[in-house]
Structure 1
Amino acid sequence: MSRSTVYRYGLLLLIIGVVFSCLDDSPQVNEKKISFPSGELKISGSLITPTDLPGPYPVVVLVHGDGAMPYDAYGYYKPIWTEFAKRGIATLSWDKPGVGGSSGNWLEHSMEERAEIVRNAISYLRTQNAVIDQQHIGLMGFSQAGWVLPKISNQQHQVDFAVFVGTAINWLRQGQYHRSINNGTGSNPEFYKTLPDSLLTQAVKQNLSFAAYQSAHQDMLTSDPNYNEGLFNDEARYGFIAKNWMNDASSELSQIDIPILAAFGQDDLNVDINDSIYHYRQAFAHNDPELLSIKQFSGASHGLLQSWFWNTQSPGIAHILMIEFFGKSMFADNSLDQIATWVERQVQH
């Protein structure tokens, strides 16, 4: 694509975005910058509250998926917290450690350490009696947060409900699915679940150092001319995987005693939603099946966005711009309305 074509598309998107923003009747929100301690870390974020409705407000704590996420997830959260604000619900989100105003490094954290930050966020909310309805604090987590939320949701009196979006059950199984889709070999569970471990997975299972993994990769290239697995070059990310590869949410899910909504896009390229749905149902069969609601959204991606445009394992700048310009309309199959309505029912109890 030529530079002039890129400029034309950019100008067109800008014009469309301006038009949509002028037509937008979404309620305005108050955004208060906040911070709270988590161990030795200082976590910075924002508390979003409605402008047109009186408090104290029920609140949804947004828990990031993978990656170096700022508090607004590069604009992805804005339509979500706006939809909640319409219903008189506040939201809390924060910069991951090492991002924005938060200290630390998110790549050094296990899922348990991630959960501890969520617990400390809830502790912060418990001090905000004038603003927050203490009877209605819930969670909404995305993708990787599926290994974080159960660690909070299964502790009595911590939260009142939780929404899981595009979440997997088993770290290694999800990795196999992701690799199978990425390699173009398909989503058939009879195939991807039998894939041999990648060299990277073998290395973390054997507790190899990053240098030892790289050496093993070079040995494979030397010994096998047909070897085609790419070299993983990110040492910090390697350490993150080594900390977390054993995660499986099944046991903790079976202990949850609050209402749960598990939401999935039917065109998800990152997570085998059928595997997740099966294990969610199995987990709640041992607890209370009535607590579990499952929604599948047609034409929806991993993040419940319009898959006709969005279906990629790694969204880029164009996708961020589309959310900025089109907001809620980028979410597929009325998914945002349905999730917000479910949350609204929980906070009315």
Structure 2
Amino acid sequence: MPLGRRAGAGRRRRWRVLAGVLITLSLLAASAVAVVVWQNDYDLREGHVTLRHGDTTLDGVLALPGSGDGPFGLVVFVHGDGPMDATHDTFYRPTWESFARAGCASLSFSKPGVAGSEGNWLDQSMEDRADETLAAVAWARARPDIDGRRIGLWGASQAGWVMPKVAARDAGLRFVIAVAPAIDWQRQGRYNLLAELRRDGASDEERAAALHRRETMLRLLRRGASVEEYHSAMRNAEGPEGSGGNEDMTADRWRFIAKNYTSDATADLRAMRGTSVLLVLGGHDTNVDVAETERTYRAILPPGTLEVRKFPDATHSLVRHDIERSDTALTLAALFAPRALFADGVLTGQRRFLERLGQTERT
């Protein structure tokens, strides 16, 4: 065979191999996209809604069960800390779907200044957040597709200072699902600081320096210091700025902390004693002292109104501990199996709480 013919045959074989590889990669990519679309398709009917509260308009989502005309029970979502949109970057949707299977809709608004909502969430006190939640409940009660007798709250972390205020003022609320709520803002902050220092293997000297910076910050808050004074004090504090001092602290964030650092849920918990409460706690929570939270809830709320569910493998966000430790695992699970993000039993445990409430109402 002439050399040119052999070379041409070799090129054709290489092109066939390359074409086969490209086709295989394309099929794999298409399959991956199909899996992502399928796993992120929820049995819900989501609609965009708005709420006028005071001088601002909030953008939100009302997620109804996939079928039926209602009226449905409703879970109003109360966010934790941070600039959260209505879906919490889609993280809420598996929970919404679980609630929909119990016959309940879910309502969530983006925080002020987030997504399409007006305002600035850092301007809010916990009282402001409670007022906003009460407005959302009142808005929902006026809708024909919502059963106003079956409205409750779901909230995580910082919402633990908001929901008891709401339940104390609205006796018509049917339930509260409290996920990893703290009791006292200052004790929670200290617990979180020490837990993170232990996790990171901090030395005794680093621990002492961080606690010193924290006490300095609290003294500044108590005397109404400015954020500039805070930064100056942190620069002069022993050791580099770390968990006890934040060089990225903005003026807005400092004002937010100053408004809320004395928050304590105890009195409001006493005022909501007639509300059915599900307390949901994770075994790997470095943000909140869940043992203190459980003790306080049990001491204040009547046993007949309180149910406590503990998930040993769950973190503060109720995500599986083994997944949350790895950014790669967290990203892949969020894309390809978002329902599997949550520790075993988390979604079904909350759904069954709502189902039991529904059965009680029918009997």
Band the TM-score falls in, shorter-chain normalisation: 0.7 to 0.9
What does residue 322 of structure 1 align with? 333
Q: Structure 1's 163 and 13: CA in aligned 2 closer, same or farther, altered over 3 A?
A: farther
Give 1:93-104 correspondences, 5 Å limit.
Answer: 93-104=108-119
Q: Structure 1's 298 and 345: CA in aligned 2 closer, same or farther, altered over 3 A?
A: same
Residue 342 (structure 2) aligned to one of 325, 331, 342: 331
Q: Structure 1's 168 and 17: CA in aligned 2 closer, same or farther, altered over 3 A?
A: farther
C-alpha distance in structure 2 between counterparts of 1:205 and 1:105, whole Å = 24
Give the deviation of 1:235 after TM superposition. Answer: 1.9
Give the deviation of 1:199 after TM superposition. Answer: 2.6
What does residue 50 of structure 2 align with? 35
Q: Tell whether 2:125 aligns with 1:110.
A: yes
Q: Deviations over 1:65-103 (max 9, x none)?
A: 011000000111010101111222100001100001110
Q: Structure 1's 276 and 50: CA in aligned 2 closer, same or farther, altered over 3 A?
A: same
Give the deviation of 1:27 after TM superposition. Answer: 5.5
Q: Deviations over 1:37-62 (max 9, x none)?
A: 11111111011101223311001001
C-alpha distance in structure 2 between counterparts of 1:212 and 1:164, whole Å = 36
Q: Give the TM-score normalised by the residue count of structure 1.
A: 0.85
Q: Structure 1's 261 and 20: CA in aligned 2 closer, same or farther, altered over 3 A?
A: same
C-alpha distance in structure 2 between counterparts of 1:289 and 1:39, whole Å = 38
Q: Tell whether 2:270 aligns with 1:254.
A: yes
Q: CA RMSD in A?
A: 2.7
Task: Report the AA paired with residue 156 of structure 2.
Answer: F
What does residue 293 of structure 1 align with? 307
Residue 50 (structure 1) aligned to one of 60, 65, 68: 65
Task: Report the AA paired with residue 323 of structure 1.
Answer: A
* 1:76 and 1:320 in contact (8 A); partners too: no
Q: What percentage of aligned pairs have identical amino acids?
A: 33
C-alpha distance in structure 2 between counterparts of 1:65 and 1:215, whole Å = 29
Q: Structure 1's 320 and 173: CA in aligned 2 closer, same or farther, altered over 3 A?
A: farther
SS at match of 1:168: coil
Give the deviation of 1:178 after TM superposition. Answer: 1.0
What does residue 159 of structure 2 align with? 145
What does residue 175 of structure 2 align with? 161
Give the deviation of 1:186 after TM superposition. Answer: 8.8
Give 1:193-212 correspondences, 5 Å limit.
Answer: 197-212=214-229
* 1:180 and 1:186 in contact (8 A); partners too: no
Residue 100 (structure 2) aligned to one of 80, 85, 101: 85
Q: Structure 1's 25 and 345: CA in aligned 2 closer, same or farther, altered over 3 A?
A: farther
What residue ranges of structure 1 are gaps of 5+ in the alignment? 1-10
Q: Deviations over 1:102-159 (max 9, x none)?
A: 100001100110111101101110110x200111001000110000000011124341
* 2:156 and 2:180 in contact (8 A); partners too: yes
Q: Tell whether 2:280 aligns with 1:263.
A: yes
Q: Which moved more, 1:172-181 or 1:200-209?
A: 200-209
* 1:63 and 1:142 in contact (8 A); partners too: yes
What residue ranges of structure 2 are gaps of 5+ in the alignment? 1-26, 202-206
Q: Structure 1's 201 and 186: CA in aligned 2 closer, same or farther, altered over 3 A?
A: farther
Task: Report the AA paired with residue 290 of structure 2.
Answer: I
* 1:152 and 1:158 in contact (8 A); partners too: no
C-alpha distance in structure 1 between counterparts of 2:29 and 2:127, whole Å = 41
Give the deviation of 1:346 after TM superposition. Answer: 1.6
C-alpha distance in structure 1 between counterparts of 2:35 and 2:246, whole Å = 46
SS at match of 1:332: coil
SS at match of 2:52: strand
Residue 65 (structure 1) aligned to one of 66, 80, 102: 80
C-alpha distance in structure 1 between counterparts of 2:154 and 2:37, whole Å = 26
If you compute each CA radius of gyration, which structure gives the higher value, 1 or 2?
2
SS at match of 2:314: coil
Q: Structure 1's 319 and 15: CA in aligned 2 closer, same or farther, altered over 3 A?
A: farther
Select the structure that is richer in helix: 2
* 1:53 and 1:88 in contact (8 A); partners too: no
Q: Which moved more, 1:90-99 or 1:45-54?
A: 45-54
Give the deviation of 1:30 after TM superposition. Answer: 1.0
Matched residue count: 323
Q: Structure 1's 25 and 175: CA in aligned 2 closer, same or farther, altered over 3 A?
A: closer
Q: Structure 1's 52 and 176: CA in aligned 2 closer, same or farther, altered over 3 A?
A: same
Give the deviation of 1:322 after TM superposition. Answer: 2.7
* 1:298 and 1:333 in contact (8 A); partners too: no
C-alpha distance in structure 2 between counterparts of 1:318 and 1:61, whole Å = 30
Give the deviation of 1:19 after TM superposition. Answer: 3.0
Q: Structure 1's 200 and 293: CA in aligned 2 closer, same or farther, altered over 3 A?
A: same
What does residue 303 of structure 1 align with? 317
Q: Give the TM-score normalised by the residue count of structure 2.
A: 0.82
C-alpha distance in structure 2 between counterparts of 1:166 and 1:240, whole Å = 21
What does residue 8 of structure 1 align with? none
Give the deviation of 1:347 after TM superposition. Answer: 3.1
C-alpha distance in structure 1 between counterparts of 2:32 and 2:270, whole Å = 47
What does residue 119 of structure 1 align with? 134
What does residue 90 of structure 2 align with? 75
C-alpha distance in structure 1 between counterparts of 2:329 and 2:227, whole Å = 33
Q: Which moved more, 1:91-100 or 1:178-187?
A: 178-187
Give the deviation of 1:270 after TM superposition. Answer: 0.9
Give the deviation of 1:16 after TM superposition. Answer: 5.5
Task: Report the AA paired with residue 150 of structure 2.
Answer: H
Q: Tell whether 2:357 aligns with 1:342.
A: no
